[in-house]
Structure 1
Amino acid sequence: MNTAINQHITHLICDCDGVLLDSESIALAVLHRQLGSYLPRSLAQGTGQAELALELALHGAIAERLGMMTNQLLDELNAQFSLGLLAPDYNAINLAVSRACSEDVTAVPGVIEVLAAIPLPKAVASNSSLLRIDAGLRRCGLLELFEGHIHSGHDMGTPKPAPDVYLAAAAGFQVAPRHCIAVDDSVTGVRSAVAAGIRVFGFTGVAHDRGQAAARLLAAGAERVFDNMQQLPALLAA
């Protein structure tokens, strides 16, 4: 970030899952376990090698879509892998993911101390529901850093990669998007911030595959990618 950019950045907007809360690995494990049972038997049977390849393909497809609303993610995987998911299956999988993320979530290492030391006003812009965001932030001791500035694409009905949730976060501060900088861990989120006219750093600290994640975030429009939350203050002040 050059000096001119630094002078004009006045507000910080963070994604929730994968940036504040270490919940993406939980969601990945639950989704893979849940969806694995729906893989077409005609494909899953045969050699052990073929079955393993299909499981790996499913795992990778889920990982690439983390950051989407769960129903949108399920729609795409349902079509890609011919899973045959019905409405009750969607409900059951959503419940399993929400429950696991609420009960097992922890804060991203270092994020509480780092954000407390950054003097910029802060907001959350997430595809999760307000209820889930609130529960996760409260559980991990982060809620007070963002109270009054928590925005949900899920509850707005226009989730990422649409820019609406990031635009809402900037509007909540009553500042132009160009005065904000975002931190997001997903391609979906990076595209959302870019579409909103907000500069964005990609975070890979809790990603399943940091190398691949970094390449995807840069390709989506992230200015920088970092993998340790302790690096954020220096990036903002560079």
Structure 2
Amino acid sequence: MIEPIEVVGRFNGRSHAAIRAQVADRLGTVTAAIWSERFEELHREAVDSELAPVEGLMETLDAIALPTCVASSGTHDKMRHTLGRTGLYDRFAGRIYSATEVSRGKPAPDLFLHAARSMGVEPAACAVVEDSGLGVRAARAAGMRAFGYAGGLTPAERLEGPGTVVFRDMRELPALITER
């Protein structure tokens, strides 16, 4: 049995395809296919019944005067569903980037570099807000400022690292970005 904290450390921030490949390597392709189908069903049900925006997120986004986007390991279909459920899809329309658009997902910097290029912003001028250790590593590898949100599943110690600001309350973010 795998403990929940190990699941967070091993899989949070990875694409579904990358997780499925790990399951296939360990348990075989048939099991991976069964797992994938069941996971998608359970994930959709959980999103529909439980997903809510992070407390303070809308006010935080309103307070940030910089261009913003979403760069996720999720597919565009998954983001339409999750961001749609939280009221964020329309807010970010046209500025949503998926790991399916690049050859290497997190912890490689490719997704964040792709998003910056698409937004017309130099990597050094970017601030990445991440809730996964892999995402924080990807931000640093891209030469971007990393802000690790420890108010969710990932413990603060998995987000810490050189040049990373870890915070627990989303309402702190505008001031943290301004300070840097």
TM-score normalised by the chain length of structure 1:
0.66
Contact 1:204/1:227, CA 8 A, preserved across alignment: yes
- The residue that corresponds to 1:63 in the other structure is 8
Q: Which amino acid aligns with 2:6?
A: A
| Matched residue count | 176
Q: Which amino acid aligns with 1:233?
A: P
- Residue 216 (str. 1) matches residue 179 (str. 2): no
Q: Which amino acid aligns with 1:174?
A: G
- Over alpha carbons, which structure has the higher Rg? 1
Contact 1:129/1:153, CA 8 A, preserved across alignment: yes
CA-atom RMSD, angstroms? 2.2
In structure 2, stretches of 5+ residues that fail to align are none
Query: Matches of 1:78 and 1:91 in 2, distance apart?
Result: 10
- Residue 99 (str. 1) matches residue 44 (str. 2): yes
Identity %: 34
Query: Matches of 2:159 and 2:63 in 1, distance apart?
Result: 26
Contact 2:70/2:96, CA 8 A, preserved across alignment: yes
Deviation by residue 1:116-152 (Cα, 9 ceiling, x = unmatched): 1211110111000111112222221122332211100
- The residue that corresponds to 2:152 in the other structure is 206
How far is 1:222 from its partner?
5.2
Q: After alignment, is 121-130 or 132-141 more displaced?
A: 132-141
Query: Matches of 2:40 and 2:55 in 1, distance apart?
Result: 26
How far is 1:179 from its partner?
0.8
TM-score normalised by the chain length of structure 2:
0.85
- Ranked by relative contact order (alpha carbons within 8 Å, sequence separation 6 or more), the top structure is 1
Q: Which amino acid aligns with 2:170?
A: M
Query: Matches of 1:137 and 1:234 in 2, distance apart?
Result: 25
Could you say what secondary structure the match of 1:133 adopts? helix
Could you say what secondary structure the match of 2:54 adopts? coil
